[in-house]
Structure 1
Amino acid sequence: MRARVFAALASGLAMFALSPSDTFAQSKYDIGANDREIKIGNILAYSGPVSSLGIIGKVEAAYFQKINDEGGVNGRKINFISYDDAYSPPKTVEQARRLVESDEVLLIFNPVGTPTNAAIQKYMNTKRVPQLFVGGGATRWNNPAEFPWTMGFQPNYQTEGRIFAKYILTTKPDAKIAVLYQNDDLGKDYLKGLKDGLGDKASMIVAEESYEISEPVIDSHIVKLKASGADTFISIALPKVAAQSIRKISELSWKPLFILSSIGASIGTVIRPAGFENSQGIISTVYLKDPLDPQWANDEAKQRFDAFLAKYAPEADKNDYFVVYAYVISQTMVKVLQQCGNDLTRANIMRQASNLKDFKPDMLLPGIALNTSPTDFAPMKDMRTARLKGERWEIFGDIMSGSDRGN
């Protein structure tokens, strides 16, 4: 009898030793985290001129649900709160304040948009709340000395602009270049990278046309660019304008070398609506696997992506670049939270985000990995060139990095 009592007592003590309260006894928390949950905010356009970006938030929510179903991150569930800003900077400011001051989130993750994020960057840093993995490639997200609470994610736009320049100088050194670009930091960063890459041959650019994101159509800009006599056209545009530029060039029977920015190169939201027949031969850059490319049919990482979509986001279009992007960036957020362990403070979030070492989310192209440091807030620096052939992007050439600055 006494043996059974001691056994029961020992069992009870063991259960007590492994209780959740003891597991989290040494935990550190800031507002937005506790023993049970991690509250993450998000802002992007579910409505307005770039509402096609809304799929990003939907896939992110689905991925975090998957993580929660598997037990959460270090035993804590993710509470993902996502708000619409319609790609309007004043609305972004309003939603950021709502998330930080009312919802009391631990951080804002992957807020999408260059002008919208610029509008909240000082606020987030004043509040010392992570503005983590910004959805935009402006160089301003990699400035840890001045903005230690803001970090980007994708290769920056100036890098991509330099890659465009290098391609043109190599394949068409006598080109006459016309550029369509969004009139904000997004478009201006691309344009700067292009001119930096061209160097003393920047005069190859014979025409530039900027457009406002609020413009319903950009046909008149394309007409002006064609009239310049250019034989090379670069479209720096988000999906709606990217698709319009492809269609209008086809309508005009203009046959330039067509280079399309990666942010507007989605098969699902750009190329298919614009017409595959109008898009053949377009050049762009890629850093993500195309889930419908036969070369990845037996790839285990791609199979995990397929299984995730089938269970958690069956309505999502695999042809949509932003679906794959959302999956990859969500995996990266979870990686940072895992590295945080039981120290869920905002300072440690940024410390771990700036300590990514050769992290390879499932759908990055081989040879590309994420790396950060306290002085380098640009996780991804590498891309490859691609050409549209049939209904797929055909990758060619070597990996190019931010150190490639053309000739």
Structure 2
Amino acid sequence: MPQTSARAPERARWDRRFGAAPTLAALSVLALTACDAGNKQATADAAHVRVEAATVTSDVVRASATGEIKARVESDLSFKISGRVISRTAGVGDHVMAGQVLATLDPTEQKADLESARAAVASQEATLRMTSSVLTRRKALTQTGAMSQQNLDSALQQYQSAGKDLEAARAKLETAIEALQQTELRADADGTITDRDVETGQVVQASTTVFTLAHDGERDAVFNVQESAISRTVPQSMEVALLSRPDVKAQATPREVSPALDRSLGTVRVKLAISNPPAEMTLGSAIIANVVLARRERVSIPWQSMFSKAGKPAVWVVDPDTKITRMKPVIIERYDASRVVLSGGLQAGELIVVEGGQFLRENQSVSYTEESTR
């Protein structure tokens, strides 16, 4: 029998003891390789997003309104009598002094009435002098017995009647003088003409406004504000600025809120008293008032972080420990230029997805770098 045949049982025993080892080693290597590949694939599948830590900041609630500068006191000037305008000496924008003539009516009729009234006064004065002389003579004659008491009483009545007629004539003279004066429309104060509704040759009626005069002195900022805004607490001091030059500013305080609503506009007129207005804030200047209505702590987030869940606003948040996402509903208070101010739903420090959220799903693993958080 050959030698090889004698060793066959021994080789068989070796194969049974160690022949499976290479196979197990190979399987172990394959398993480790598969696990490593699986981890790499899981890492590759994790979405990379940019996140931001929600921070609480002081939120200032502001409101603004546009208006114009007006005089604290304005006068509507009108003629007290009717007539035809023969001259106009002032226009819009002119600064006038108290007593200055602004326009004149044709005084022909009033001058004629004045001359007639003066003549009547002169006539009644002459009559009074004559009756006074007669009364004096009759008193003397009555004292000597040369004239009866009846004649004296008659002279006294004539004198008294002449006195009353003179008073009436003088009253008419004063009326005629006043009527002539009323043919001239004069400024009632120092100020600036802000409106005019009269031309030379025009016939105007009594009490029809022909000029509006803004008195010199204190100035108001006048606004037409939506009725809903009036329900808020109006601050006791606010800043107004020229609309064309925001650097020209002044402090103002509420002075008057109209009790009546302009139903055509749905607004309420509000007047603010301006303290020491700059020279640039001239009458009629367009201004803007910036009002701080409230200061409070709020979370604000970038608008691009906003999504919706079941039709309601929500954001993606990331658990910093597990790096797992979930969508969290939030309550929006208002929208600013580039951020959304929240009144609830997020706490300070929570990580919100601000970029890449459109590709996320619930409970998804994500990756982000430290540089991505703020």
TM-score band, normalised by shorter chain: under 0.3
Q: Which has the larger radius of gyration?
A: 2
Higher helix proportion (structure 1 or 2) = 1
Please, what TM-score do these two structures have when normalized by structure 1? 0.18
